């Protein structure tokens, strides 16, 4: 239970950090690159089993890590943009409501049960993402709905692949090194993108972007490690764990947005928050 609690706290912290990225005009891509270097380094330094970096590709979980690493940097960029344009609470809702994606994956590929509550929960989840993302009046911005939708789909895909690889290929002692590899691969993709941007538009990296990346990298690493360790708990089913994890992050992030960032919520936004919690519960208990 302690790992689940820590995962919730560190995951919520990511949304808050992304909000400050917008306030302090941080270059998202540069900060993400540094963040992944930090998380990668922590994974290999804290690993229980020592392994050479040049031998990582021989591990059975490497293909999954390769795909996840590419998705990480893409979805983290989307997450940062969502936090800046739609707010902390909307970002957490769009990301955590994505729990319906692995559930749909299970229905179609593993022939899991299809119940009325499950279908109802999925529909409520989609409506909740839309309602919580709407910005009215002065808050309305062009294209703000795009980022929550991309975050919803991308986060769900990551959760699905992460669970699959963790169950089938990652041993208990390889959690740290597997997590570090994910971040290392994401850093490589980030470096390639930065190289292209540098060629097109030459500009300095910026000290504040490095500092921001370091601040992001530490909670980012632990949010993944603690989630994977929580998933190793044989006394709690993954559906129950994801329910508690996702609902708690939505609630905590919403409270942070309201009380610390004074985010404004319309009546539709409030309905979206309530439906988000209801949708997650219905889908996972069905």
Percent of the chain with pLDDT over 70: 92
pTM assigned to the model: 0.77
pLDDT digits over 88-119, tens only?
Answer: 777 877 877 787 787 777 777 767 667 888 78
For residue 17, the model assigns a pLDDT of 92
Average pLDDT, the chain: 83
Mapping DSSP onto H, E and C, the string for the chain reads CHHHHHHHHHHHHHHHHHHHHHHCCCCHHHHHHHHHHHHHHHHHHCCCCCCCHHHHHHCCCHHHHHHHHHHHHHHHHHHHHHHHHHCHHHHHHHHHHHHHHHHHHHHHHCCCCCCHHHHHHHHHHHHHHHHHHCCCHHHCCCCCCHHHHHHHHHHHHHHHHHHHHHHHCCCHHHHHHHHHHHHHHHHHHHHHHHHHHHHHCCCCCCHHHHHHHHHHHHHHHHHHHHHHHHHCCCCCCHHHHHHHHHHHHHHHHHHHHHHCCCCCCCHHHHHHHHHHHHHHHHHHHC
At residue 141, the pLDDT reads 47
- Distance from C-alpha of 60 to C-alpha of 79, rounded to nearest angstrom: 29
Segment 50-55 shows an average pLDDT of: 82
Report the pLDDT value the prediction gives residue 67, as an integer from 0 to 100: 93
Confidence at residue 142, expressed as pLDDT on a 0 to 100 scale? 46
Q: What is the pLDDT of residues 140-173, one digit of tens each?
A: 444 467 888 899 899 889 888 987 888 888 887 8
Range in 61-65, 72-76, 237-241 with the lowest mean pLDDT:
237-241
Task: Read off the tokens for 223.
Answer: 């949010």
For position 252, what pLDDT does the model report? Answer: 82
What is the arithmetic mean of pLDDT over 45-54? 82
Task: Yes or no: say if 253 and 95 are a contact pair by the CB < 8 Å rule.
Answer: no
What confidence tier does 41 reach under pLDDT thresholds 50, 70, 90? very high
- The more confident residue out of 236 and 137 is 236
Read off the pLDDT of residues 190-247 as tens digits, 9 standing for 90 and up. 898 888 887 777 777 889 999 999 999 999 999 989 988 887 777 776 666 777 777 7
Look at 49 and 39; give whichever has higher pLDDT.
Answer: 39
Query: Tell me, what's the pLDDT at 258?
Result: 80
Q: What is the mean pLDDT of residues 68-97?
A: 82
Return the top range by mean pLDDT from 44-48, 84-88, 97-101: 44-48
């Amino acid at each position: 239970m302690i790992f689940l609690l820590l995962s919730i706290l560190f995951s919520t912290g990511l949304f808050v950090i992304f909000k400050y990225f917008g306030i302090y005009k941080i270059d998202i891509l540069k900060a993400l690159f540094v963040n992944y270097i930090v998380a990668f380094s922590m994974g290999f330094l804290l690993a229980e089993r020592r392994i050479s970096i040049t031998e990582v590709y021989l591990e059975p979980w490497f293909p999954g890590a390769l795909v996840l690493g590419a998705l990480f940097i893409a979805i983290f960029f989307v997450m940062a943009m969502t936090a800046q344009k739609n707010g902390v609470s909307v970002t957490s809702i769009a990301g955590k409501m994505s729990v319906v994606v692995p559930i749909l994956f299970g229905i179609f590929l593993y022939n899991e049960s299809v119940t009325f509550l499950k279908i109802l929960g999925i529909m409520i989840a989609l409506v909740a993402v839309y309602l919580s993302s709407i910005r009215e009046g002065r808050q309305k911005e062009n294209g703000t709905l795009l980022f929550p939708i991309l975050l919803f789909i991308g986060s769900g895909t990551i959760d699905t692949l992460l669970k699959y690889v963790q169950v089938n290929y990652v041993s208990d002692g390889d959690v740290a090194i597997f997590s570090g590899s994910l971040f290392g691969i994401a850093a490589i993709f980030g470096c390639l993108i930065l190289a292209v941007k540098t060629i097109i538009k030459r500009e300095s990296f910026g000290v504040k972007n490095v500092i921001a990346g370091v601040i992001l990298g530490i909670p980012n690493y632990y949010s993944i490690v603690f989630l994977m360790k929580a998933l190793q708990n044989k006394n709690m089913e993954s559906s129950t764990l994801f329910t508690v994890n996702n609902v708690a992050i939505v609630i905590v992030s919403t409270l942070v947005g309201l009380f610390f960032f004074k985010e404004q919520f319309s009546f539709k936004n409030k309905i979206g928050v309530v439906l988000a919690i209801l949708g997650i519960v219905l889908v996972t208990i069905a």
